Structures are given as C-alpha cells and as structure tokens.
Structure 1
C-alpha cells in the first residue's frame, strides 16, 4: 500500500497499527478499506468463474488482468470475419460499416483518452455517450449514421458479454436515438419508364436485377445469392 509506519506503532500479530494517534488511525482505516476491497474482488471472481486463486485476486486488485480483452482488437477479429463473408452472407457495404467504424473508434480513443486501445471492461455508459457526442460534433455525422454505428458497437459488446469477456453490457440502459426518415418509392409509371430505358449492357443488367427485386420483393443479397438450383418450377 506504499505506506510507512514507525515499527514501535506496529502490532505484528494483529497486522495493524497500535495506539490512537492520527498516524495509527489513518493506517488502520486504509487497512480496513483494502481488506474490504479484496473481499469484494474475491466474491466477484467467485460469482463469475469456477475457481478463485490468490493470483487472480491480486491481479484484479493491482489492475493486472491476464485476459485483457480490448475493444479494437475485438473489432479487428470481427472485421476479418466479415471480409470472408463478402458475397456469401453479406455485401461490401456491411463490411465497410465495420471498417470505417473501427477507424472512427481509433480516432476517438486517441483524441479523447490518448489511448491506442481500451479494455472492454472500461467501456461504460459515459464512454458510449462521449463517442456519440464525438460523432455528432467532431465528425458531423447525421443521427441515422450515429445510430447505425452504435448498433454495431452494441452487437460487438453483446457478443463479448456472451463470451464472458465482460460481465455487464454497458448498453443495458442506453437508448439509441434514431431519426425517422420517410422512404420514397417508385410509382408504376416510373417503374415502366425504367424498364423501357435504353442503357448499355452493364447498366442494363443492373436495371434488370433492380426490376426483378421490385416485382419479387427480394433483397439485393437474396438476388446476389440466387442460383438456378434454388429456383423451383411448378
């Protein structure tokens, strides 16, 4: 605890200072708080893990964690996994959202906290709030973009929670605000104009896929993954 005391005021058997001096009292108060803190750490590890050891308790008390899961490192793993899924389960735009969000988080950590990365366990409600304000003010992002980014972070932290990298999801009481936007749609006449439009071969193929989606209700990724084997004829 980085404290010194006169040996004459120390009771070796009881492990505390003797007498009623200010020095002895402050030492004993610190000892009491430290013991209480260690017992709390012990109980916390006992609730979360199968086994408790003095080494685990000491590491948590000293701020040393052999399993230090980091935010950006977890993002890098997710981004690598998303890259392998492009064209199979996701499209490029989905991958790009994770990729650019990772850049924004890195910039935010450096500007706000002067850190290259941050442990997952240190992410709390205020961290999320600060990042939201950073995107809004420093980056000038729209609320819809911010909501999309926060939703991705929430998914990442939910995954961390399920894997027991963290023991409380900081998004549990965080409400993601999203601005409502009116989506436009094509009229029958506009669709017909698009169908009859003269285009080059590349754009013509893109147009045909879009029209196919309009009449079938399929999403882009569904059409992208559509093969002859998946089509059944009656």
Structure 2
C-alpha cells in the first residue's frame, strides 16, 4: 500500500440513527498511515447505502442529492490535497481536513517556542500545581537547550518536525563536555527536555518519539545518613563552644523530625499544635513541593525545641544561613570523629532511615512524614535501606527456625 496516496472513504455510522431512522454519513481521510474522520452533515437510510459503490441507491430525489454532495466533497478534498502538495513540503490527514474547511493549517512549532509556552503555564500555576524552584529548573533547562542549539546548529531555534535521536545524543554529549555537567545534572536536563517532546507529540508537532531508542543513564545516588552509633556519638558529645552546640542540637532536631533546611528556618510557634493524640505535632508546608507535612514531635525533638526557643524573633530555632550551618557541621564532624561529609540534608536522611525505617516504621508512613508527593519517590530513594532491614529480619528468623 502506498502511504503517500490519499484515500477518501465515505461510511455510515449505524450506531447513531436519528428520529427518521437515518444514519449520519462520515468521511474518512487516510494519508501516510494516519486517518482523519469527520461528519459530512448528511443522513441516509442505512438500507439505501451501498458501501462498495460509495453512494446511495436506488436512485431517488434524496439519494441523488446526497450522491451529488458527496461527489462535491470528494472533489474539494482532492483540491485541498493538490494545494498542499504544491505549497507544503510536509502535511498529514489533519492538514488536508483543515485546508478543506478553510482553517489555517497548524503551524510548525519550534522546540524553544513550545518550551517557553510550557514555562509560561508553570509560572501561572505557581502555588497551585507547582512551586517556584520547579520553574527555575525548567528555565535553566530551556537556557541549556538554547545554548546547545546555538552552539551545535548555529541557529536561534530548531523545528520540532526535524527532531531526531541524533539531536538528543549530541545534546547529552554537549552537556557533559561543553557545560561539564555531572551525570545526574545531565540526566535531569534531558528528562525536562523529554517532557517538552511529549507535549510536541501530543500536539502533533512531530510524528515519532525520538526518545524511543534513546537511554540516558540515571545515576543511582547512595543514601548518606548517620547510623545509630554515629547519631548517639553526636548526641552525647559535650561542646565547649555555644555555636557548635546550638548547630548540633538543631541538626539532631531535624534527625528526629525530618525537616528540611527551609522548613527548619521557617519554624515558628504557629506550626506547633496539639495533635489528636494529645501530643505536640509540627504542621508545615514543604517549600519544595508545597505538600502539607504533619510530624509528631518525638521526646528528643521536643526537648531541643524547648531549650532553643528563640522568642525574640518568633522563631522556634535560631536562624543560620545554610552555608554557615553546613560549615559548622563540617567542624562538628571533625571534633566528634564522624568521617562522613556532614550536611543539613543528612539529618533528613537519618530521620527516614535510622529513626524510622530501622525501627520498622512502614514505608507509606515514612513517605507521609517526609512530605513526599508520591510513595514511589520514597521507595526509589530508600529501597536499599529496606532490603537491608528485610535481610536482618530474615537472618533473625533463620536463627529462630534453626533452634
């Protein structure tokens, strides 16, 4: 079958008869393996429709009129088809229909044009579906793509219809060599570009997905956290300097609450409430995902919160910049003898692993307490931790069964 040949087929829809028991006549265009079906606006008695002849029979006033109109529609379709052949390099069945109806053919879109339209929508949905950091990441991804198109193709933009797998491969190479991005950053940039390509596919700006035969390795990051011995060593150490003790206590507080730096810094009295169980709870929105988080205050966290209450600024914890906080943590790790590179984020990882998962708290509860938008995010990050815990349980079970 020649895909470049236009096929015009009239057919009736027997499932939609009107009050006069007549069926609508539809027209189906097939070109380059794709179809476009639309209503002709005419109805006929199903007994009178001769599919092989593509007309109504026997001859009568109504059938003759319908046959004339269908012939006229087919003639107009062929004229639209010839017009597109002469004036356009590429078009599909949808374009033929639009030309037939006198509607402006869908415009060939460029990659950066669609990327910008996507970012504009994200910006309008800040606070509703997205948070500001998400917009920043997509703006950065668009800027990287723009630089690549300028560098590699010496153009200001690139047509979606010309997009092929070679473009993506060259883009990955460019990110690693010219931009010197790490594998994780390269992967994220390409994943954001992939989202734009999906939009292009759904809108019909390109015919096939160039990502089908492409794979970008997603680096598996190792979860760094404090084990129970390291956490105890940190808790028990007596610091001579007040600033180090203060930072240590704030870090420990986050080890027992899972609060990220942004939430720790913003924590005020309005975020601490009396829970349904009679205990104190923290209720706060995560700035990264805008998800509401409810975390029960464990005794150690509550004790630290009480001792460090900074009433003068209405903050429950001292305000220290993230850079200084991590600088102090580096100093604390050297003093205590912890070889791991200590950062604030490790407190959140310690909460999820040593405090929760290693104490048999279910994964779905961990996900809820961390404020993850989806359970699979938690599972993806902490799968190995769970495997280790399962191994420990099986070892204990084996010992019991062996007795």
Normalised by the length of structure 1, the TM-score is: 0.64
| 1:11-48 Cα distance to aligned partner (Å, 9 max, x none) | xxxxxxxxxxxxxxxxxxxxxxxxxxxx8655694533
Bigger CA radius of gyration:
2
1:133 aligns with 2:246: no
Q: Distance in 1 between matches of 2:157 and 2:217?
A: 26
Give 2:369's aligned residue.
Answer: 217
Give 1:14's aligned residue.
Answer: none
Structure 1 segment 111-190 matched on structure 2, within 5 A: 111-185=151-225, 189=231
Give 2:84's aligned residue.
Answer: 56
Contact 2:3 2:33 in 1 (8 A): no
Pairwise CA distance, 1:84? 1.4
Structure 1 segment 100-119 matched on structure 2, within 5 A: 100-119=140-159
Contact 1:41 1:61 in 2 (8 A): no
Q: Distance in 2 between matches of 1:199 and 1:153?
A: 45
Pairwise CA distance, 1:61? 3.0
**3-state secondary structure, aligned to 2:108:** coil
Pairwise CA distance, 1:122? 0.9
CA RMSD of superposed structures (Å)? 3.5
Contact 1:108 1:134 in 2 (8 A): yes
Pairwise CA distance, 1:132? 0.5
Structure 1 residues without counterparts, runs of 5 or longer:
1-38, 223-234
User: In structure 2, do the counterparts of structure 1 residues 47 and 170 end up closer, same or farther at CA, with 3 Å as the change threshold?
Assistant: same
Give 1:204's aligned residue.
Answer: 317
Pairwise CA distance, 1:165? 1.6
Give 2:41's aligned residue.
Answer: none
Q: Distance in 2 between matches of 1:147 and 1:184?
A: 21
Q: Distance in 2 between matches of 1:108 and 1:89?
A: 29
Give 1:10's aligned residue.
Answer: none
Pairwise CA distance, 1:199? 6.9
Contact 2:148 2:171 in 1 (8 A): yes
| 1:183-218 Cα distance to aligned partner (Å, 9 max, x none) | 2235674764444263755573999xx98x967424
Q: Which moved more, 1:147-156 or 1:83-92?
A: 83-92
User: In structure 2, do the counterparts of structure 1 residues 182 and 62 end up closer, same or farther at CA, with 3 Å as the change threshold?
Assistant: closer
Q: Distance in 1 between matches of 2:171 and 2:138?
A: 15
1:47 aligns with 2:47: no
Q: Distance in 1 between matches of 2:373 and 2:154?
A: 40
1:73 aligns with 2:59: no
Structure 2 residues without counterparts, runs of 5 or longer:
7-29, 37-76, 92-104, 235-250, 255-300, 321-346, 353-365, 375-403
Q: Distance in 1 between matches of 2:212 and 2:318?
A: 45
Normalised by the length of structure 2, the TM-score is: 0.39
The structure with the largest strand share of the pair is 2
